[in-house]
Structure 1
């Protein structure tokens, strides 16, 4: 009898906790969707979401500098150090597609809050290892892998969340603002600050990183409480099948729609060529042009400025010229830019080419993301976006970096940039017809009217 009385409350507590968990992550079918994109959606209304992303991005930038510095205090083996970058990127190949399923199954904002909390706790765990002097390179691999998994889930949920809380006409501007926030945090502010804090104390940048994750979760939670965000999870058929079946639905949706299929090809090839171009930029600058380390830093700054301007002006360009008139010229202009990078001996010309290249890359990326968010049904948007992320980040970037090294070793550094230009020629031959302004406009109108 005593044993029965003692165990019964525990069973009830577990059931209640499980119910609360399911309610938080999924929301009940009867929940009211009180936050919806509409004409009245204001910039002020989604500014807390932007603030959350910007805060988290600064933390990411801190870690981008501090984690390799911490690794160097453990080992100087170049293979081991490179493995840290591999561990951080591996989730885009292994779990990006599953993250899209999660983003479509569950309440996206709650999912993002939970992911931020878990990432904050993971980094807090790393701080404990640092303070107790128990850190190993394997520990850093596990941390990088865990944070990478969280990043894929967060990104997939973000792609579906934006059209739920922001008016469709403001999506290009919102995507541009998010890109600028990410660029500022991970490129301009975070890495220098992370290096400086690491010099003060090895644990300090990671404590700050954990704080940014938790602050991001708090900002999203405050938004949810203030605006009553309650996403209604789409009703699923009883025979919905396995997770792999749901992943397949994302692929099938893309296969049935030529415009989105074209967007997938453009984003994948664009990231592939950018990986080719960026992987050996340091060698092009220092060995081919004979630039100093500080001059190489200026080249990176020029590229960052171009990307920042692309994010800032993407909405304005789309409004003034029309998205359907922007995509094809922006892709085509990459061809002469890569040829300039291959043949120029002038560092100023190279910096200008890098800046324009970054501007066009961000411009195209923002416009395609905004269009995809407007025309893909919300219930499959996470999976459709995750397919793009899988190929663009999980496949194109590592394959591009690997091939860049092989081509440079066999034919020289300039050959890498010539090869990138040749790839753009092939891409243009494949997608020009689909990206003609009239066809893009008609395809968008047809999808929005479906």
Structure 2
């Protein structure tokens, strides 16, 4: 692969792999510390969970503005160092017998805010670091790291907590951010934000500029709409799956764990095969097909469960796991490939805020529908929402894109319509192809 000898990317990948595993440790260790050590309950655990995701909803556009004004690599370095120091205060406070719930909330909030700035900066810097022609490969490798961490990180974190205790396990998480910090320090390529001479645009003006790019570019607008709607449907479905498995299928926690483990394995398989599948289907068709199949998967949960019970649920989970990373990888890669790099932070930040808002709303709507119309009907609605999200792509240029754009980031469609890199169907008799 083209990135096999790209030392800077490999350093980034190594650091991200380490911190992904660390995230899974703290995902379990922080609530464990709250419940076991501080005698917290459902409310405290809920607040900790909210503090992980609310910063994306509230701060991502601001993080995008900062990423477009300053060096993205520097922002990532500061975020890693900050997360290391914030998490490091917990085992120290535990050793001094002074850890409190407020301290836990502050650490969760600080790490959530710093993660928001890191993620927006990383997504904005990657196209410059590796080039648009390598985006699918780069995002695939990073997605594989996240998927492997998802599959085995929680189990490893549980074992670490059992062995060392929650507070000491958090120390391990803190050091994963230190590893990522060191990896970033050794990346040779620098990311200097060059601002036009005499340019003194206000933050408000620059945020509006990013919004105009996102919603004025037909490709970006189509990807944004589909991604938000598909994630809304997927969150609704995810909120219902576990309840359905326990209350309708009557499965044991062990069986549910196996079903979700199988899904995690197929997430890895889907990520590995993502680039190969896109070459056979085209990027546009892959996005439509994977979102539709994802929606069908949620609709078929009751059918699969009724026919095969435990086995049926496993099959459906495998299908959902297989297509999800393919959709995510290609949406992100295409956004990075067609967005002007000097606006990548603002576009990415606005999109992330909306996606996390859709996820939050989806979980709420899924639960409300499950109570209101029943689990089977609610799963059907969730699947239909995801399908509709994918079908929205058919009304725009995204479904006709054959392959990723090449060249400098942002050389895809511009805000006024298709760029020369998109060959019009009426002129060639074929579907448009990026930089064909």
Q: Provide the TM-score with structure 1 as the length reference.
A: 0.85
1:361 Cα deviation from its structure 2 partner:
1.7
- Among 24, 35, 53, the residue aligned to 1:61: 24
Alpha carbons of structure 1 residues 55 and 286: separation in structure 2 relative to 1, 3 Å: same
- Distance in 2 between residues matched to 1:259 and 1:56, nearest whole Å: 32
1:432, CA displacement in angstroms?
1.8
- Secondary structure in structure 2 of the residue aligned to 1:72: helix
CA gap of 1:210–1:431, structure 2 versus 1, over 3 A, is same
Conservation of the 8 A alpha-carbon contact between 2:220 and 2:335? yes
State the match for 1:20 in structure 2.
Answer: none
The residue aligned with 1:350 is: 313
Measure how far apart 1:222 and its partner are. Answer: 1.3
Structure 1 window deviating more from structure 2 (52-61 vs 404-413): it is 404-413
Any idea what SS the aligned residue of 1:203 has?
A: helix
Q: Tell me how far apart the structure 2 counterparts of residues 111 and 256 of structure 1 sit (CA, whole Å).
A: 28
Aligned to 1:196: 159
For the 8 Å contact 2:3–2:138, the answer to whether it is kept is: no
Shift of 1:322: 2.2
* Equivalent in 163, 177, 192 of residue 141 of structure 2: 177
Structure 1 unaligned runs (5+)? Answer: 1-38
Match among 314, 322, 327 for residue 364 of structure 1: 327
Partner residue in 1 for 2:228: 268
Query: What is the rounded CA distance, in whole Å, between the counterparts of 1:64 and 1:164 in structure 2?
Result: 31
2:349 is matched with 386
**SS of structure 2 residue aligned to 1:125:** helix
Residue number among 251, 265, 270 corresponding to 1:291 in the alignment: 251
**Inter-CA distance 448–114: structure 2 relative to 1 (3 Å threshold):** farther
Pick aligned residue for 2:218 from 258, 279, 302? 258
Deviation at 1:241, TM superposition (A): 3.6
Q: Secondary structure at the match of 1:333?
A: helix
Q: Secondary structure at the match of 2:186?
A: helix
The CA deviation string for residues 343-373 of structure 1, in whole angstroms up to 9 with x for no partner, is 3322222222222122212101101111111
Question: Take 1:303 and 1:63, find their aligned partners in 2: how far apart are those partners?
Answer: 22
CA RMSD of aligned residues (A): 2.2
Q: Number of residues paired by the alignment?
A: 406
| CA distance in structure 2 between the partners assigned to 1:396 and 1:437 by the alignment | 22
Per the alignment, do residues 305 and 189 of structure 1 end up closer, same or farther by CA in structure 2, a change over 3 Å counting?
closer
| Contact kept? 1:310, 1:360, Cα under 8 Å | yes
Who is 1:3 aligned against?
Answer: none
Q: Could you report, residue by residue, the CA deviation over 1:50-107 in whole angstroms, capped at 9, with x for unpaired residues?
A: 0010011111111111111101021342122211101111101111111111111111
2:41 to 77, 81, 94: 77
Query: Contact 1:332 / 1:424 at 8 angstroms: preserved in 2?
Result: yes
Give the corresponding residue for 1:231.
191
**Distance in 2 between the 1:101 and 1:297 partners?**
41
Largest Rg, 1 or 2: 1
Contact 2:3 2:134 in 1 (8 A): no
Distance 1:371 1:99, change over 3 A: same
SS in 2 for 1:291: coil
Q: Alpha-carbon deviations, 1:231-256, whole Å to 9, x = none?
A: 23121464644323322222110111
| Aligned positions of 1:392-403 closer than 5 A | 392-393=355-356, 395-403=357-365
Q: What is the deviation of 1:436? A: 6.4
Residue 332 of structure 1: which of 292, 303, 325 is its match?
Answer: 292
Does residue 124 (structure 1) correspond to residue 84 (structure 2)? The answer is: no
Shift of 1:146: 0.8
Query: For residues 411 and 437 of structure 1, what CA distance do their matches in structure 2 show?
Result: 34
Residues 9 and 130, structure 2, Cα contact 8 Å, conserved in 1: yes
* Structure 2 match to 1:418: 380
